[in-house]
Amino acid sequence: MLWADSDYAQRIMTTRSPLAPAAFPALPDIAGVTRRVARAQYKNWDRCDLTYVELTPGTTVAGVFTRNVCCSSEVELGREQVKGGSGRALIVNAGNSNAFTGYRGREAVEQIMEQVARHLGCDASEVFVSSTGVIGVPLPKDKARAGVETALTAEPCSWEAAADTIGTTDTFAKGSGASAIVGGKTVHVAGIVKGSGMIAPDMATMLGYIFTDAAVAPALLQDMLREATGGSFNSITVDSDTSTSDTVLLFATGQVGNAPLTTRDDPGADALYAAIREVALDLAQQVVRDGEGASKFIEIQVTGASSDDSAKRVALAIANSPLVKTAIAGEDANWGRVVMAVGKAGEPADRDKLAIRFGDHWVAKDGLPVDGYDEAPVAAHLKGQDIRVGADLGLGEGRATVWTCDLTHGYISINADYRS
């Protein structure tokens, strides 16, 4: 029997984001993956806050982590663990990031790793741990020990319950699934993610976990994950702040029985990568749709740049501009703020070649407002929930797309009182 999802309705959330999907998706079961949740009570709340995922022996793993130099012990250990390429378990603690907590924080993580390893009869290096929440408070060892003990023997739970349990300020559980044909066999991919604020691309973002039943060598799995995050988790931003705990892990159980993939030239490797990237992009965009206080989902597309990398930096300058984000929140077609953001990006640009659009409507070209500019269709576009902003630099073939959300009073309300 699956653990009941009643806790989903009870969790401590702000109002569900208006940009949230209608319902949690139906995700495929991944052979070799068993999910369980428990209440460690890291905070004074009535909800599950510890997730345990057991992985079948032989599971390979890849990971990408934050580049924030003030990272947590979980991240430091995880970077070394993925080099081994093997994973047997995942523990996720919600409500306490355990970052900037010195030796006490590291001891708590090592305690969890050893406790789970004893239960499974595996090496502690095969147990991955993530934590998310308030920075600067050591993870309480007693609560962690008791929570893990409960989780190890809890009833298996649904994807939605696991997705909900890893969240903090999230207003909805986030999941995504896909499939591909590899060696004549149907392989499945399923992922969950948490994230709402402190979101900026610097490899990775928030906490995300993707699982597949395909057999994939660790080096190829790492290559696939690194490439997939470039156009997904590393192409979103909510508030330009990069977390101390950001982690994305990809596990491959090999239970579908395909011939193990070792190179991108192997039959089916491209199809599997496409499924992984599809899931990663969907999860990343759900994080933006749950941006703290968000009311608009915004796509920023930059074309005509000197290179793709330059285009991405310009796109992020637009996406991270508080003036651009607040204008869109207020449905104000103040396209001059986009001009400003392009100009401040520190990338090659020519004022007299720049063109700006909202939706499909060009508002400026060649450094001037378009002849006969009519703001009415632009204003109509800004009244929607999904907003598209474009900037063509007129310099070359470089292009990039990033996703963000608007900036509202709701963001301030959440973050002015985050610790209570």
Q: Give me the active site residues, please.
A: 205
Rounded-to-integer distance, Cα 297 and Cα 326, Å: 13
Residue in this structure with the two tokens 């909805």, named with its chain if needed: 172
Rounded-to-integer distance, Cα 244 and Cα 309, Å: 24
CA atoms within 13 A on the CB side of 338: 27
* Residue count of the chain: 420
Task: Check residue 142 and report its DSSP letter.
Answer: H
Rounded-to-integer distance, Cα 409 and Cα 387, Å: 19
Which tokens in the block code for residue 313? 């930096």
Rounded-to-integer distance, Cα 193 and Cα 209, Å: 6
Which tokens in the block code for residue 44? 């004074």
Contact predicate 182/272, CB 8 Å: yes
Which has the closest alpha carbon to 193: 154, 148, 241, 250? 250
Burial class (CB in 10 A: 0-12, 13-18, 19+), 131: buried
Radius of gyration of the chain (CA): 22
Strand order in the sheet with 355-358: 368-369, 361-365, 355-358, 386-392, 297-305, 398-405
Rounded-to-integer distance, Cα 232 and Cα 277, Å: 8
